[in-house]
């Protein structure tokens, strides 16, 4: 948790400066880590045919890789407008397109801007786009062109032409070569600056103006070309040290049915908890294949299923693996599923996709299909999940090397370092294989305790928290509950969306015993999360709990729709659930509504919550988007305790 807190602080800093390129992330983490600080290295970024303002022989050339939907790009643009005026004639400002994939209208906006450029109106169009980055819509792309009196036939033809698309792609490719991962990323006379860090930009501009003026005084006509001529032609990320792996040993029992690869007398046993749909597990698959080659005869690998609840096809894939194991073909199907993960992940129906590829599977198909749908296989996978949850695992992949926990898809060198250490320790024990492994783990820790971020102390997993309820929260479920789940959540968080659905389903299964209490915890870097929280709370105040949860389901299921034009979408959602938008809008604007949401946020802070989703099940804290089986197991245990 201590590392997580540091990570989140870094994220908060980064998010305050830049829109980050959306990455696949491991469960319960929703951001991109800031790269290590760099020296003032110079990069030779070619201007090419890019549009620019200012004199070509200016002392300073600033190249801005930017996105028309990014609010942080707008900050850099506003700063550049000011700088061009203040340093009149001293700056050449070059614009490069770098539309981020999760800004759906950013690329269409870039294409439209180039179409406007073809008619000599780029900067006018650019100004209109950046005047309101929250309203970059198809309608406005056309409206701006009409306002600038562009030839609309030519404009519409140019923005869909292959030549225009090629120009945008060329900028994206060039940006990627020079390490652009988010916007804005600027190069000031070759010095790379990530994010709208105006203070840093000002410092570099002042320094580089002086350097450029000195070159001009020496008769050099193009200061930029001179300064960057020996600059780097691409960005090479700094090497990061492999994360240290704790020497703590956990008592990880291998399920009797688990498939095991490798020599029976191996000195090192690795237990892998995996999810076939998890992209990080797919990444780790290649690592494990290499480890098999490099340590053949010295390691054995046991596979345990941990299909996460928000991976919709993961459980069926786990059943497929378990069914293959019945025929002694697990590792062949394991490889098949991971090497084709992207293909079946995009298929509408996993089972249908699998059947369409049955000729590629080394199994008796009829028996395989029968086993895959059997209660026995379902029980085996459920047993795996219970093994994982009892260890306190929160996500995948998770590896235990002779009981030592390696979290995530770390570089292969991290795995090799631990394996080599364990091989060396095992050589003097006189034991091998299962006998050796049982000896190593016999005194191991029973589960992974989470750090509470306070001086390295461990958080007691059985600690009971007292969460203050204001009585203003939305509530759903049993009127006389044996189990109360208090949920802190953020309507814009994708992991909250998955967790909300999971807990709703679980509560429905135990409807006579479970009650859900919803508390808002909108994170600061989700710009639409608080307006959504106010909207939902207003609906609760006016129309009650049932309408609140109906709306919450809409907000979570349509997260990508209301990131832009949120108020317009909120109005439509209000109508959809039968609420009067004008009344809801007025209710959301009341100080009392703001106070209720703020009260939830303060309560989250009281208990040191730093991320969402977070749950308190009869006071026991559960962090992250756990699978349904986790909550069901917890509820079953608590219900038994009450008998």
- Residues 93 and 202 grouped into a single domain: yes
Residues 425 and 529 in one domain: no
Residue 219 DSSP symbol: T
* Angle, CA 181 vertex, CA 556 and CA 179 arms, to 5°: 170
**What pLDDT is attached to residue 506?**
94
The three-class DSSP label of residue 53 is strand
Question: What are 167-190's pLDDT values in tens digits?
Answer: 999 999 999 999 998 999 999 999
Return the structure tokens found at 2.
């201590």
- Which parts of 348-463 fold into alpha helices (H)? 350-356, 365-372, 375-390, 412-426, 433-441
CB 533 within 8 A of CB 499: no
Q: How far is CA 640 from CA 390, 446, 540, 626, 635, in A?
A: 17, 21, 34, 21, 9
Q: Decide if 246 is inside a domain.
A: no
612 in a domain, yes or no? yes
355 and 289 housed in the same domain: yes
Residue 516 lies in a domain: yes
Burial-class residue 51 by CB neighbours within 10 Å (0-12, 13-18, 19+).
middle
Mean pLDDT of the chain: 90
Q: So what's the pLDDT on residue 3?
A: 43
What is residue 95's three-state secondary structure?
strand
249 found inside a domain = no
Residue 463 in any domain: the answer is no
Which phi and psi angles does 268 have, rounded to 5°? Answer: -125, 130
Contacts of 489 (CB under 8 A, 6+ apart): 496, 499, 500, 518, 519, 520, 521, 612, 613, 614
Domains contained in the chain, number: 3
Query: In 10 A of CB 431, how many CB atoms?
Result: 15
How high is the pLDDT of residue 28?
32
Same domain, 101 and 203: yes
In this structure, what token pair is assigned to residue 620? 């026991």
DSSP state of 21: P
Q: What is d(CA 618, CA 464) in angstroms, rounded to the nearest whole number?
A: 8
pLDDT over threshold 80, residue 509: yes
Which residue has tokens 């994708």?
494
Q: What is the CATH number of the domain that holds 42?
A: 3.40.30.10
Among the listed residues 456, 432, 453, 445, the one whose alpha carbon sits nearest the alpha carbon of residue 400: 445
pLDDT value at residue 460:
64
Residue 371 CA to residue 149 CA, distance in Å, equals 67
As a whole number, mean pLDDT of residues 323-329 equals 97
d(CA 317, CA 347): 13
Q: What percent of the chain has pLDDT over 90?
A: 76
Q: Given this model, what pLDDT does residue 10 score? A: 41
Tell me which of 109-123, 420-434, 443-457 is least confident: 443-457
Q: How far apart are CA 432 and CA 269, in angstroms?
A: 10
Predicted local confidence at residue 32, as pLDDT: 32
Query: Which of 212, 228, 244 marks a domain boundary?
Result: 228
Asked whether residue 530 is assigned to any structural domain, the reply reads yes
Domain boundary among 210, 228, 246: 228
**What is the number of alpha carbons within 13 Å of residue 47 lying toward its C-beta?**
20
Calpha distance 531→520 (Å, rounded): 11
| Domain finish residue from 213, 228, 243 | 228
Compute CA distances 602 → 9, 288, 452, 522, 608, whole Å: 18, 44, 18, 11, 10
Confidence check: pLDDT of 27 > 90: no
Interior CA angle at 74 toward 70 and 77, to 5°? 135
What angle (nearest 5°) sits at the alpha carbon of residue 104, between those of residues 548 and 625? 45
Q: Which pLDDT score, from 0 to 100, does residue 30 have?
A: 30
Edge-to-edge strand list for the sheet holding 398-401? 260-262, 299-305, 268-274, 398-401, 404-407
Mean pLDDT of 609-627: 91
Verify cis geometry, omega within 30 degrees of 0, for the bond prior to 184: yes
Q: Name the residue range of residue 130's domain.
A: 2-228
pLDDT of residue 524: 80
**Whether pLDDT at 309 is above 90:** no
Q: How many CA atoms lie within 13 A of 467 on its CB side?
A: 29
pLDDT of residue 238: 72
Query: Are residues 222 and 264 both part of a single domain?
Result: no
Within-domain flag for 448:
no
pLDDT for the residue 34 = 40
Cα separation values, 302 from 91, 253, 260, 338, 629, Å? 61, 10, 4, 16, 22
Can you tell me the distance from the alpha carbon of 623 to that of 601, in angstroms, rounded to the nearest whole number? 16
Q: Same domain, yes or no, for 502 and 427?
A: no
Q: Is residue 247 part of a domain?
A: no
pLDDT in tens, 235-258: 987 766 666 789 999 999 999 999
pLDDT at 454 over 60: no
Q: What is the pLDDT of residue 564?
A: 84
Do 26 and 145 lie in one domain? The reply is yes
pLDDT at position 555 over 80: yes
Q: Are residues 518 and 607 in the same domain?
A: yes
Q: Based on the domain organization, do 411 and 520 belong to the same domain?
A: no
Within this chain, do residues 289 and 436 fall inside the same structural domain, yes or no? Answer: yes
Q: Could you tell me if 81 and 173 lie in one domain?
A: yes
Please list, residue by residue across 561-589, b when 16 or more beta carbons sit within 10 angstroms of its beta carbon and e when fewer do. ebbbebeebbbebbeebebeeeebbebbe
φ/ψ bin of 260: left (φ > 0), alpha (ψ from -120 to 50), beta (otherwise): beta
Give Cβ neighbours of residue 493 (< 8 Å, ≥ 6 apart): 30, 523, 526, 529, 612, 613
The CA distance from 275 to 310, in Å, is 11
* In the predicted structure, residue 358 carries a pLDDT above the cut 90: yes
380 and 495: one domain? no
């Amino acid at each position: 948790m201590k590392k997580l807190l540091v990570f989140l602080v870094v994220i908060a800093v980064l998010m305050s400066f830049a829109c980050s390129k959306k990455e696949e992330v491991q469960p319960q983490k929703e951001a991109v880590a800031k790269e290590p600080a760099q020296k003032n290295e110079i990069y030779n970024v070619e201007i090419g045919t890019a549009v620019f303002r200012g004199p070509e022989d200016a002392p300073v050339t600033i190249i801005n890789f930017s996105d028309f939907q990014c609010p942080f790009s707008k900050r850099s643009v506003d700063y550049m407008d000011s700088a061009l005026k203040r340093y009149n004639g001293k700056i050449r400002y070059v614009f490069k397109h770098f539309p981020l994939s999760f800004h759906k209208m950013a690329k269409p906006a870039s294409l439209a801007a180039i179409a406007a450029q073809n008619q000599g109106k780029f900067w006018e169009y650019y100004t209109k786009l950046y005047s309101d980055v929250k309203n970059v819509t198809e309608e406005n792309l056309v409206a701006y062109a009409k306002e600038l009196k562009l030839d609309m036939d030519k404009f519409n033809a140019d923005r869909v032409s292959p030549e225009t698309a090629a120009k945008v792609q060329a900028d994206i490719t060039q940006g990627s070569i020079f390490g652009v991962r988010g916007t804005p990323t600027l190069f000031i006379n070759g010095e790379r600056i990530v994010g709208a860090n105006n203070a840093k930009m000002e410092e570099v501009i002042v320094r580089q103006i002086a350097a450029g003026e000195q070159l001009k005084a020496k008769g050099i006509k193009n200061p930029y070309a001179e300064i960057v001529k020996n600059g780097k032609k691409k960005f090479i990320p700094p090497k990061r040290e492999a994360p240290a792996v704790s020497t703590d040993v956990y008592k990880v029992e291998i399920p009797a049915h688990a498939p095991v690869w490798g020599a029976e007398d191996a000195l090192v046993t690795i237990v892998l908890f995996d999810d076939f749909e998890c992209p990080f597990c797919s990444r780790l698959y290649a690592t494990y294949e290499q480890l098999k080659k490099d340590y053949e005869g010295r390691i054995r690998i046991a596979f345990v299923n941990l299909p996460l609840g928000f991976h919709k096809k993961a459980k069926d894939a786990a059943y497929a693996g378990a069914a293959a194991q019945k025929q002694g073909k697990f590792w062949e199907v394991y490889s098949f599923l991971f090497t084709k993960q992207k293909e079946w992940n995009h298929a509408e129906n996993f089972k249908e996709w699998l059947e369409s590829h049955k000729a590629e599977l080394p199994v008796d198909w009829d028996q395989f299909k029968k086993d895959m749908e059997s209660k026995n296989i379902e029980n085996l996978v459920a047993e795996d999940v219970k093994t994982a949850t009892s260890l306190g695992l929160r996500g995948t992949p998770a590896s235990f090397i002779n009981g030592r926990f390696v979290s995530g898809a770390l570089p292969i060198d991290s795995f090799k370092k631990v394996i080599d250490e364990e091989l060396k320790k095992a050589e003097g024990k006189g034991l091998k294989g299962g006998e050796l492994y049982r000896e190593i783990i016999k005194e191991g820790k029973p589960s992974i305790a989470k750090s509470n971020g306070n001086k390295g102390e461990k958080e007691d997993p059985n600690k009971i928290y007292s969460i203050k309820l204001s009585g203003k929260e939305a509530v759903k479920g049993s009127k006389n509950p044996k189990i109360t789940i208090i949920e802190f959540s953020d309507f814009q968080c994708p992991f909250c969306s998955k967790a909300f659905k999971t807990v709703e389903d679980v509560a429905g299964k135990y409807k006579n015993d479970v009650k859900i209490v919803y508390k808002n915890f909108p994170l600061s870097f989700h710009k639409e999360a608080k307006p959504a929280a106010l909207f939902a709370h207003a609906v609760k105040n006016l129309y009650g709990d049932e309408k609140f949860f109906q709306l919450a389901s809409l907000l979570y299921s349509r997260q990508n729709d209301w990131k832009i034009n949120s108020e317009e979408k909120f109005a439509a959602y209000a109508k959809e659930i039968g609420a009067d938008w004008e009344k809801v809008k007025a209710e959301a604007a009341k100080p009392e509504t703001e106070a209720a949401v703020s009260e939830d946020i303060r309560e989250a802070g009281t208990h040191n919550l730093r991320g969402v989703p977070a749950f308190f099940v009869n006071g026991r804290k559960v962090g992250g988007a756990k699978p349904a089986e986790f909550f069901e197991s917890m509820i079953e245990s608590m219900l038994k305790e009450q008998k």
